[in-house]
Amino acid sequence: MLSIKNLTASIEENKILNNLSLNIGKGEVHALMGPNGSGKSTLSNILAGKEEYQILSGEIIFNGNNLLDLDIEERSQKGLFLAFQYPVEIPGVNITPFLLTALNSKLKKEGKKEIDNLTFAKNIKHIASELGIQKEMLSRSVNEGFSGGEKKRFEILQMSILKPLLSILDETDSGLDVDALRVVTDGVNKLRNPESSFLIITHYQRLLDYIEPDFVHVIHEGRITKTGNISVAQEIEKNGYKNLI
Ligand SMILES: Nc1ncnc2c1ncn2[C@@H]1O[C@H](COP(=O)(O)OP(=O)(O)O)[C@@H](O)[C@H]1O
Ligand SMILES: [Mg+2]
């Protein structure tokens, strides 16, 4: 699904990622943990297609495509979803038509039949209620005045509608209260299926109490220093990163 091979990348002459390799298979949930400044956000920004980074070597293959050849729009059409991909406020654009447009553009690209307003309005209400998202939210403007928790709810809603092949959630737990954290973790657990993969970037083990990842990776100084199962996260919780980097 995603194969990152020997990726070395810099920003403003500073090498941040250092020969980093990571493979994510279909249907797998991977957690990426690491101390501040280890390169987690740099990696997700590069996957997202942000342009300020220099790729010095390595490759990223996503579902058979050379990811680095694709622009941001193409990446999302190929099934990559980044939780912070649309953090902008779009005043006056309601969530429901926004998501319908996104979904229909995806269906059209796949040569599938588009969905009409009425059917979609029904579907989205159903999905929102399953995710514990209040229906009032569906008529709000995209991200306008959203709290941290509401932004996360909206991301989960987007993922439920667009059904990406790979979802990347960066720092999903920063600043979330317990309820918002549960919406995110329950959402991911509901969306887990053999076709959908997840990369969950987090500082804290507490998120992983709710989402049990198949693999946990530790990143330090721009490379993966340890890969294992949930016990790696438990070790971090107990002793910090000292034995893992
Ligand atoms: N625009 C930038 N210019 C220079 N250095 C940067 C820039 N962005 C990030 N870095 C550096 O890259 C390193 C990794 O940052 P980041 O990927 O944000 O870490 P993490 O998300 O793991 O906390 C840090 O040392 C940070 O200072
Ligand atoms: Mg970060």
The domain spans of the chain are: 2-239
41 lines ligand 1 (CB under 6 A): yes
| Helix spans in 20-94 (H) | 40-48, 72-77
Per-residue pLDDT band for 174 (boundaries 50, 70, 90) equals low
**C-beta separation of 8 from 57 below 8 A:** yes
Find the mean pLDDT for residues 143-150: 82
Find the mean pLDDT for residues 25-40: 95
Name beta bridge partners: 168.
82, 199
Please give the distance, rounded to the nearest whole angstrom, from the Cα atom of residue 75 to the centre of ligand 1. Answer: 23
Please give the distance, rounded to the nearest whole angstrom, from the Cα atom of residue 215 to the centre of ligand 1. Answer: 24
What is residue 216's predicted lDDT score, i.e. its pLDDT?
96
Per-residue pLDDT band for 84 (boundaries 50, 70, 90) equals low
DSSP state at residue 112: P
- Please report which ligand is nearest the Cα atom of 43: 1
What is the third-level CATH fold of 2-239?
A: Rossmann fold (3.40.50)
Measured from the Cα of 35, ligand 1's closest atom is 22
Instruction: Indicate the range of 25-34, 91-100, 146-155 predicted with least confidence.
Output: 146-155
Per-residue pLDDT of 117-145, as tens digits, reads 999 999 999 999 988 888 899 999 988 88
Residue 106 has phi, psi (to 5 degrees) of: -65, -45
